Copies of this chain bind each other. A is one copy, B any other.
Amino acid sequence: MVRWEPGTRERLQAAALELFTERGFEQTTAADIAAAVGVSERTFFRHFPDKREVLFDGQSRLVDAVVEGLRAAPADAPALDVVAAGLRAGAELFPDDLRAWARLRRAVIAEHPALLERERHKMAGLARTMRAALVARGTSEPAATLAAESGSTVFTVAFGQWIAEGEHRSLAELQTAVLDDLRSLTGTASDRGTA
């Protein structure tokens, strides 16, 4: 007889998303989530350092993929192109059949400032890691920070479009389009009329 079922962590995440969706984040206690899975509250906090984090697992996989993409980019590529390569690698983690899940998750996050705060923090972590990877490749400051932060913004904007109702393009396509917008914003399209 098995003492504990495997996959406790994943079941906690699924139960949390479901309960948050039903009753809301604040109306769901950590003990509720644990009970739904049949474990103790203490076990919940052994898997996740805090209640919000149950929604933000898997972030490290994204970061790893992006950094891997950054590293694989040609050595002589401009910083923003290197970032673009990283984002493309990250986009592969989001095939189209994850859209529904991403939408549900986003809906929960959007309604609770504490969750929005955590999400921002996660994106900041992505930017920080990209910056470090750029610096390791030889990019100087503040170009590395600016490129990394811009990349993080592009990811966020493109992701928001990706989960929009009726959107059919892939995340990678959307990232490319947003990146083009960014280039035209700060480059040729905006260098006129500065006075």
Listed in ascending order, the chain A residues whose CB lies under 8 Å from chain B are 74, 76-81, 113, 116-118, 120-121, 124, 142-143, 145-147, 149-150, 153-154, 157, 178, 181-195
Contact = CB atoms under 8 A, between A and B. Distances in A.
A193 B195 contact: yes
A85 to B, nearest CB: 11
A76 B154 CA distance: 25
Give the number of times this chain occurs in the complex, counting copies. 2
A34 to B, nearest CB: 23
A26 to B, nearest CB: 14
Given A80-B186, A150-B153, 10 more contacts: A77-B193, A78-B194, A81-B190, A117-B118, A117-B120, A143-B181, A146-B181, A184-B187, A190-B191, A193-B194
A79 B194 CA distance: 10
Contacts of A157: 142, 145-146
Contacts of A121: 113, 116-117, 120-121
27 contacts: A74-B195, A78-B192, A79-B185, A81-B190, A81-B194, A117-B117, A117-B118, A117-B121, A120-B121, A121-B121, A142-B181, A143-B181, A146-B154, A146-B157, A146-B178, A146-B181, A149-B149, A149-B150, A150-B153, A153-B153, A183-B187, A187-B188, A190-B191, A191-B191, A193-B194, A194-B194, A195-B195
